[in-house]
Amino acid sequence: MYRYDEFDERFVRERVTQFRDQVGRRLSGSLTEDEFKPLRLKNGVYLQLHAYMLRIAVPYGTLSSKQMRQLALIGERYDRGYGHFTTRTNLQFNWPKLRDIPDILDLLADVEMHAIQTSGNCIRNVTADHFAGVAQDEVEDPRPTAELIRQWSSLHPEFDYLPRKFKIAVTGAEHDRAVIKAHDIGLRILRHPDTNEVGYEVIVGGGLGRTPMIGKVVREFLPKADLLAYLEAIMRVYNLEGRRDNKYKARVKILVHEIGTEEFSRRVEEEFARLDGPSVNADPAEVARIAAYFAPPAYEALPATSGAFEAARAGNPDFARWVETNLTPHRQPGYAALTISLKPIGAPPGDATSEQMRVVADLADEFSLSEIRVTHAQNLVLPHVKLSDLFAVWQRLGEAELATANAGLITDIIACPGLDYCALATARSIPIAQALAQRFADPVRQKEIGVLNIKISGCINACGHHHVGHIGILGLEKRGIESYQITLGGDATENAAIGEILGPGLAAEDVPDAIERIVSVYLAQRQSGESFIDNVRRIGLAPFKAAFQDSNREVSHAVA
Amino acid sequence: MPLLDRHGAKAEIWTRSEGAAIDNLSHALVDWAVLPEALAQKTRDQRIGVIIPNTVRIPELKLLMRQLSLIAISFPSFGDGRGFSLARLIRNHGFTGTLRASGPLIVDQFAYALACGFDEVELPEASAARQPVEQWVNALGQISHGYQRGYGDSGNILDRRRSARLKHAAAG
C-alpha cells in the first residue's frame, strides 16, 4: 500500500487547516453561502435531507486495517455507529455535525486519509479494479497509476472549477471490473501489440446520469511516461470547451458527443503535441517510487491446494456455497481473494457498523496482510487470504453477519442511499433493494439464477449505476407517487452496454413481481450454462417485454 | 475597482478607454471588440491592455499578443474556471506582459490564479469589501506545495522529491 511521505502528510494537514479557515470565513460573512458551497463540497461535506453528510475518499478502494479502525472510531464517535460504502468506493457518514467535521478530518489525516474532492466540479476520487495486484488476468497493477493521478489531481490549480464533476477509473486487467467505459476518463493498461511496451488505452466521454453514454477510445496507445501531459491536454480542452450553460449538458460526454470523437481527439492531440511533456510528466524515478509501494507482499510459498480447505468444503455445505460465490482466484498459489458481502438479506446495501469494520480490520491483520479493498459494488474484499485459513475467516465473518454468500448474485444489489438520505433523490432505493433481497433470499434459488446484477438509483443522477445493471431500476416521482422504471441488458464490464427500458413505470410494491417475471423468462429460455446477461443478448428484449407487460396489465386490473 | 497582487493591494495604472479612443492615455485598457482599432492608433509610447471574455480562442489572440502589455481575462462568476486554462494557454504561447483576472474571484482561488500565470486580480467592490486584502495574502501560504509540475514557482512536490533523490544519490 502507498504510504505518505512528508510532503503528502503536510499537504493533507494543511488542507484541514485551510478548511477550518474556510468555515471561519463563512461564519464571519467573508464568504457568501454560494461561495462557501463548492468549498465544502470539495471537502466532501454535503447538506443532505436531514443533516450534513461527509464523504471520505478511499483512493482506488484500498484500505489498511489501521484506516478501517479509524473509520470505525469516527462512526462511533461522530455518527450513529455505522458508515455507508458507495459505488465510488468512498465511505459516507450520514449524521456528523458540521462543527465536528474539522476534527474528523484531523483523525483521517492521522491515518493518511482525507475527504478531498469527493464532491464538487473537480476531478473526483480515482477508482480502480478492486482485485488489483491479485487478479490473474492483469497486465500491470493499476494502483500506481491511480495514486499518481490522485496526487496530480489534488487541488489542481487549473482544473478545480470545471464545468462539472469528473471521474477517472483505471484497470490493468483484461476483464474490466472498474467500469472504465462509464467514466469521464477510463484508462486501460495494456501492452503494445508490436513492441510489447506497457501503455494506456484512453477512453473519454462515458458516464451515466441523465444521458448515459459509453466512453469512446480517443487514444489507442499512450506511452506510460506521457500520462500526466495527456491528461492535462484532455482536461484543458474540456475546461475551455465543455458546456457551462446547462448543468445537465456539462459533462465531457456531451462535449465528445456534440463535436464527435474524432474532433475531440484532434483537439486533445493538438494541445498534447504543443505542450511541453517533460515539464509536466512525472519522472520515471517518481513513478517507480510510487510503484514500489505496490510491490507484491511477502507471500508464503504454498501448494496450490489445501487439504484442510477441501475437507471443510466437503463437510460444510454453507461454507462450500460461500466459497463458490465469494471467492476469487489469486495469482499466488495457495491464496484467494474473498469478497465480504455488505448485502445481508434485508439490510441497506453497503452499510457497515463500526463493530463490523473492526471485525474486518482484525481479520485483515490476522489473515490478509492487513489489507482491505472496497468494491464499486459496495462490498469489501480481503485480498490475500490463505486457502487453509478460509474456513476460520468464514466462521468469524459469520459471527458478525458478514458471511452472506451472494457476491455477484441477484441479492448482491447496488443501491444509492435514495430518498431515505439524499436531497437529490426522487424515490426510495434502499427499501426496493430490501424487498428484492427478501423475495430472492432462498440460497438454492439464487444459485440456480446465477450471476445477475441488479442496480438501483433513486434519481436520474444514477449513483446506483442502474443503466449498466443487467436489470436496472430507476426511481422517479410522478405526481407525488414513486414510480420505478425497469431497464434490461445493461453491462458494466468490457462489454459495456446501456440497458433498455422495458415498459411503463411501476409502483414500489409491484417491483418484486416484475423482476420475478423477468427472471422466469430467463430460467425458461436459457441454454445450458448460459448466464442471464448472455441470455438477454441472445434472445433479445421481446420475450422479457412481453412478460413485463403482462405483469403490468395484471397490476392495472388489480388497481382498477 | 480594487486590485491586488501577491504582495497585497495595488494601485491601478490603467485607464479604461471610451470605445477605441485611446487618445493620450499612457496605459489604455480597451475592450476586445475594439482592440484592432485601438492598436491601429497606438503611438510608440502608449501601452495597450485588453479585456477579453474567457471564450476567446488562442489563435484569435496570438497574433496581437506582442503588442499588448496587459491582458485582463474576465471571470463572469467565480465558478467559471475557463479563465484558469486560458491564462495557462496565453502564458504557454509566450505572453510575458501582465495577466489580470477580472471578476468576483474568492480568496481560495488566489493561489490557483497565480499558479496559472496571473499576476493580479481585479475585484468588484462588493467582493473586496467582504474579503479584506489580508485574507488574500494569507491564503497564499495555506498549502505550501502542490503536486503539479509547471504551475507557479513555489516548488512542487514532484520536483522536490526529485531533488531529494538526486541529493541522496550524490551523498551516497
Q: Each residue of A356-389: pLDDT tens digit?
A: 999 999 999 999 999 999 999 999 999 999 999 9
On the 0-12 / 13-18 / 19+ scale of CB atoms within 10 A, B160 is middle
| Sheet with A216-223, edge to edge strand ranges | A127-128, A168-171, A185-191, A198-204, A216-223
Res. A520: pLDDT tops 70: yes
Given CA atoms B88, B92, B93, B99 in this order, what sign does their dihedral have? Answer: positive
Nearest-CB residue to A35 (from B80, B106, B165):
B106
DSSP letter, residue A210: T
In chain A, CATH 3.30.413.10 covers 133-292, 414-559
Angle (CA) A547-A553-A558 rounded to 5° is: 130
Among left, alpha and beta (phi > 0; psi -120 to 50; other), residue B44 is alpha
Give pLDDT, residue B170: 87
Q: What is the average pLDDT value for chain A, to the nearest integer?
A: 95
Q: Is A157's CB within 8 Å of B146's CB?
A: yes
Question: Which residues on A lie below 8 Å from B167 (Cβ)?
Answer: none
Q: Are B79 and A42 in contact (CB under 8 A)?
A: no
User: Looking at the DSSP assignment, which residues form a beta bridge with residue A475?
Assistant: A484
Name the 3-class secondary structure at B34: helix
Instruction: Please report the pLDDT score of residue A49 as a whole number.
Output: 72
Residue A557's pLDDT band (cuts 50, 70, 90): very low
With CB atoms and an 8 Å threshold, state whether A280 touches B116. Answer: no
User: Tens of pLDDT along B56-74?
Assistant: 999 999 999 999 999 999 9
Long-range contact set of residues B52-59: C-beta below 8 Å, sequence gap at least 24? B52/B86, B54/B80, B54/B82, B54/B83, B54/B86, B55/B82, B56/B32, B56/B86, B58/B86, B58/B89, B58/B90, B58/B93
CB under 8 Å, gap of 24 or more: what pairs does B121-129 form?
B121/B3, B121/B4, B121/B5, B122/B1, B122/B2, B122/B3, B122/B72, B123/B1, B123/B2, B123/B3, B123/B4, B124/B1, B125/B1, B125/B2, B128/B1, B128/B2
- Residues within 8 A of B (CB atoms), A 15-34 only: 15, 17-18, 21-22, 25, 29-32
What's the rounded Cα separation, in Å, for the pair A127 and B37?
Answer: 52
d(CA A232, CA A237): 9
Beta strands per DSSP E along A195-350: 198-204, 216-223, 327-329, 335-340
| Alpha-carbon span B144 to A13, nearest angstrom | 11
C-alpha cell belonging to residue A398:
459469520
The A residues from 43 to 102 touching B (CB cutoff 8 Å) are none
Between A148 and A555, the more confident residue is A148
Select from A5, A148, A244, A279 the residue whose CB has the most chain B CBs within 10 Å, as the one to mutate to test that interface: A244
Task: Write out the residue limits of the CATH 3.90.480.20 domain(s) in chain A.
Answer: 307-399
How far does A238 lie from chain B, in Å, by closest CA? Answer: 9
**pTM for this one?**
0.95
Note the CATH number of domain A133-292: 3.30.413.10
Give residue A558's pLDDT band: very low, low, confident or very high (50, 70, 90).
very low
Q: Which of residues 271-300 of A touch B (CB under 8 A)?
A: 274-276, 279-283, 285-286, 289
pLDDT in the model for residue A420: 86
B161:A289 CB<8 A: yes
With bands split at pLDDT 50, 70 and 90, how would you rate the model's confidence at A551?
low
CATH class of A307-399: alpha beta
What is the distance between the alpha carbons of residues A444 and A533, in angstroms, rounded to a whole number?
20
> How is the beta sheet containing B15-16 ordered, strand by strand?
B8-9, B3-5, B120-122, B98-102, B70-74, B47-52, B27-31, B15-16
The predicted structure's pLDDT at residue A91? 97
Backbone angles phi, psi at A547, to 5 degrees: -65, -40
- The chain B residue lying nearest A271, using CA atoms, is B89
Q: B111 and A39: CB-CB below 8 Å?
A: no
Cα(A348)–Cα(A417) distance, integer angstroms: 8
- Smallest Cβ distance to B81: which of A29, A162, A281? A162
Residue A308 grid cell: 484442510
Burial class (CB in 10 A: 0-12, 13-18, 19+), B23: exposed
pLDDT value at A472 more than 80: yes
Model confidence at B152, pLDDT cuts 50, 70, 90, reads confident
Domain(s) of CATH 3.30.70: residues in chain A: 6-110
Chain A neighbors of B82, CB-CB under 8 A: 239-240, 244
Section A183-196 average pLDDT: 97
Q: Which of B92, B115, B162 is closest, CB to CB, to A157?
A: B115
Q: Does the structure show a pLDDT above 70 at A553?
A: no
CA–CA dist A148, A290 (Å, integer): 7
More confident residue, A356 or A46: A356
Which are the contacts of B168, defined by CB distance < 8 A and separation ≥ 6? none
Q: CA-CA distances (angstroms) from residue A148 to A100, A452, B49, B148? A: 31, 34, 40, 11
CATH 3.65.10.10 correct for A414-559: no
Buried b (16+ CB within 10 A) or exposed e, A233-258: bbbbbbbbbbbbeeeebbbbbbbbbe
Report the C-alpha gap between A336 and A338 in whole angstroms. 6
Q: What percent of chain A has pLDDT over 90?
A: 92
CB contact under 8 A, B116 and A38: no
Tell me what the mean pLDDT of segment A445-460 comes to: 96
Between residues A552 and B165, which one has the greater pLDDT? Answer: B165
> A12 to chain B, minimum CA–CA distance in Å?
9
Cα A57 to Cα A105: distance, rounded to the nearest angstrom? 11
Query: What is residue B171's predicted lDDT score, i.e. its pLDDT?
Result: 84
Tell me how long chain B is. Answer: 172
How many residues are recorded in chain A? 560
Mean local confidence (pLDDT), A133-137? 94
> Rounded to whole angstroms, how far apart are CA atoms A278 and A282?
8
Query: What's the pLDDT band for A552 if we cut at 50, 70, 90?
Result: low
Instruction: Test B81 with A159 for CB contact under 8 angstroms.
Output: yes
**Closest alpha carbon to A417 in A401, A406, A433, A404:** A433
Residue among A159, A276, A286 whose CB faces B162 most closely? A286
**Nearest alpha carbon to residue A427 among A392, A357, A478:** A478
Residue A554 has pLDDT above 80, yes or no: no
**Looking at the complex, does the CB of residue A3 fall below 8 Å from at least one CB of chain B?**
no
Please indicate whether, in this complex, the C-beta atoms of B149 and A239 are within 8 angstroms of each other. no
Average pLDDT, stretch A423-427? 91
- pLDDT number for residue A560: 37
Do B104 and B124 contact (CB within 8 A), yes or no? Answer: yes
**Smallest Cα distance from B113 to chain A, Å:** 7
Kindly tell me the sign of the dihedral angle through the C-alpha atoms of A484, A486, A492, A496.
negative
Q: Do A14 and B143 touch (CB under 8 A)?
A: yes
- pLDDT over threshold 60, residue A292: yes
A45 to chain B, minimum CA–CA distance in Å? 17
Query: Which residue of A40, A155, A252, A275 is the best one to mutate when testing the B interface, meaning the one whose CB has the most B CBs within 10 A?
Result: A155
The pLDDT of residue A559 is above 80: no
Residue A324: name the closest of A305, A307, A339, A308 by CA. A339
Q: Which SS3 state, helix, strand or coil, does residue A293 take?
A: coil
For position A52, what pLDDT does the model report? 86
**ipTM summary value:** 0.97
CATH topology for A6-110 is Alpha-Beta Plaits (3.30.70)
**Whole-number Cα distances in Å, A464 to A89, A248, A351, A483:** 12, 18, 14, 16
Which whole number is the average pLDDT over A414-441?
93
**Long-range contacts from A221-224, C-beta under 8 angstroms, 24+ separation:** A221/A190, A221/A192, A223/A197, A223/A199, A224/A197, A224/A198, A224/A199, A224/A200, A224/A287
For residue A512, with 0-12 CB atoms within 10 Å meaning exposed, 13-18 middle and 19 or more buried, which class applies? middle
Interface of A with B in 334-373 (CB under 8 A): none
Least confident range from A71-80, A364-373, B14-23: namely B14-23
In chain B, residues with a C-beta closer than 8 Å to the C-beta of A279 are: 149-150
The side-by-side arrangement of strands in the sheet containing A481-488 is A414-415, A454-457, A471-478, A481-488, A500-501
Residue A423: the pLDDT is: 85
Q: Is the pLDDT of residue B163 over 80?
A: yes
